[in-house]
Amino acid sequence: MALLVQKYGGTSVGSIERIEAVADKVVAYKDQGNDMVIVVSAMSGETNRLVALAQEISPQASGRELDVLMTTGEQVTIALLAMALEKRGYAAKSYTGGQAKIVTDNNHNKARIKSIDHQNIQRDLDAGRIIVVAGFQGVDEESNITTLGRGGSDTTGVALAAALKADECQIFTDVDGVYTTDPRVEPEARRLITITYEEMLEMASLGSKVLQIRAVEFAQKYAVPLRVLSSFEEGEGTLITTDYETDKTMEQALISGIAFNRDEAQLTINGVSDTPGVAYQILGPISDANIEVDMILQNVGADGSTDFTFTVHRNDYETAMASLEKTANQLKAREVRGNNRIVKISLVGVGMRSHAGIASRMFEILAREGINILMISTSEIKISVLVDEKYLELGVRALHEGFDLKSE
């Protein structure tokens, strides 16, 4: 007998028929003798609908009230799934994040889980109940409702699995595993049997939304066995695991996957003086405005002046631009330029560590397609390039083919 934590995403609970199908699946696992904790998302499209309602009232709605609003989506699905389980003759109990005692910090809209007191859930499990927990939500120390950032139900699943010491955390979604790249962009993408936590972390942070990055961080930190599977069809899915196990079982691939991010925007300030403190003068106000900077590039100075380029999330483009223009005036810079029609494409693989020449091969493939690279950044296990958004599909497919990632 095992304890399984299963998370079902928005599409998997997107209609009454889908919720009934999930209930059938869950009772089949229960009948095999497993203890079951189920985490569900809101029905697909619901969180977006709620956000749009808030926007109609006020684009500046407070984080606290947004959280009160957004968490209603998951409250609907926990109740419906628990009812569907009861209808099948199984004892089930729904829990909101607060009832599950998922305590977070008070950072509304992107709260972090601090602790989970799982005593009540454990007691209900021991009594044979199937537990249904609302994903994406918690409460802070003052009982304010919080949310964990978009896609946060994955993190609820992994955190519960860690707290309850579950045998596996299974993320059921609308694809049957983690692929070499998003199968919606490259239909010939290949499902990975395993991927390391480290690579999955990199893929998630570079834009692969199949798992929320914090869920992977949590799984790695607490060594939670994590699997991504389809809720629509049977299969093994993809196991996220440690380097060690992967190395033992198979030869390490050079590249595991290609991630991309459509949310990028680039800003450049030209002709600032090449003196100590300039980077701080430019980026200080950006960080004060709570804007996260991703890639940064400073040119080699010439004639006492230099250029400085960085990227931010597209949603922050206008605010960052306004801040940069102010800084440019103060620094008497020559000009400020920006581009919010760009995307980032990244190659990810722990196999890169021991192989030279991957970057140049990447640049060669992109050059052959006539794709101009706007910016480059590398780390031990990834190479990212910034390109015009019109080249996203072409670039991803060319790299997928060029690095031989297709299905056998």
Parallel, antiparallel or unpaired: strands 130-134 and 92-95: parallel
**Residue 9 or 349: which CB sits closer to ligand ASP?**
9
> Is residue 349 near ligand ADP by the rule CB under 6 A?
no
Q: What character string, x for contact with ligand ASP (CB under 6 A) and - otherwise, covers 206-225?
A: --------------------
> Tokens 């722990």 identify what position?
350
- In 3D space, the residue among 42, 76, 41 whose CA is nearest the CA of residue 215 turns out to be 41
Q: Can you read off the two tokens belonging to residue 359?
A: 């970057």
* Closest distance of CB 187 from ligand ASP, Å: 24
Query: Using CA atoms, how far apart are residues 348 and 332, in angstroms rounded to an integer?
Result: 40
Distance in angstroms (rounded) separating the CA atoms of residues 38 and 161 = 10
Q: x-or-dash pattern for ligand ASP, window 16-45, by CB under 6 A? A: -------------------------xx---
The DSSP 8-state label assigned to residue 92 in this structure reads E
For residue 345, state whether it binds ligand ADP (rule: CB under 6 A). no
Chain-centre distance for alpha carbon 395: 22
Nearer to ligand ASP by Cβ, of 152 and 237: the residue is 152
Told to check if 47 binds ligand ASP by CB under 6 A, we report yes
Cβ closest to Mg ion, residue 9 vs residue 257: 9
List strand residue ranges (DSSP E) for 242-326, in order: 257-273, 293-298, 305-313
The residue (of 45 and 128) whose beta carbon lies closer to ligand ASP is: 45
Q: How far is CA 245 from the centre of its chain?
A: 24
Q: Which is nearest to 259 in space by CA: 379, 155, 179, 357?
A: 179
Binding segment for ligand ASP among 99-107, 150-158, 234-242, 333-341 (CB under 6 A)? 150-158
Give φ, ψ of 187 to 5 degrees: -60, -20
Contact between 178 and ligand ADP per CB under 6 A: yes
Which position's Cβ is nearest Mg ion? 151
The tokens for 312 are: 């931010």
- CA–CA dist 10, 376 (Å, integer): 35
77 binds ligand ADP (CB under 6 A): no
Give me the least distance between CB of 135 and ligand ADP, in Å please: 9
**β-strand pairing of 145-147 with 102-104:** unpaired
Pick the piece of the chain touching Mg ion (CB under 5 A) from 8-16, 46-54, 85-93, 233-241: 8-16
What sign for the dihedral angle of Cα 282, 313, 63, 7?
negative
207 binds Mg ion (CB under 5 A): no
Helix (H) or strand (E) holding 366: helix 358-368
Of 194-202, 203-211, 309-317, 348-356, the segment contacting ligand ADP by CB under 6 A is: 203-211
Nearer to Mg ion, 156 or 384 (CB): 156
For residue 335, the minimal CB distance to ligand ADP (Å) is 37
Name, in order, each residue with C-beta under 8 angstroms of 350's C-beta and a sequence gap of 6 or more.
196, 198, 199, 243, 252, 256, 381
Of the candidate residues 25, 112, 150, 314, the single one contacting ligand ASP (CB under 6 A): 150
194 binds ligand ADP (CB under 6 A): no
Choice from 98, 151, 237, 349 touching ligand ADP (CB under 6 A) = 151
Read off the tokens for 81.
């799934």
Q: Which does 157 bind (CB under 5 to 8 A by kind): Mg ion, ligand ASP, ligand ADP, none?
A: none
Smallest distance, Å, CB 199 to ligand ASP?
21
Quick check: 152 binds Mg ion (CB under 5 A)?
A: no
Task: State how far the Cα of 73 lies from the Cα of 43, in Å rounded to an integer.
Answer: 7
Question: Pick from Mg ion, ligand ASP, ligand ADP, none: which does 132 bind, CB < 5 to 8 A by kind?
Answer: none
Q: Which residues pair with 268 in a beta bridge?
A: 309, 337
Which residues lie near Mg ion (CB under 5 A)? 9, 151
Which residues lie near ligand ADP (CB under 6 A)? 9-12, 41, 151, 173-175, 178-179, 181-182, 184, 208-210, 257
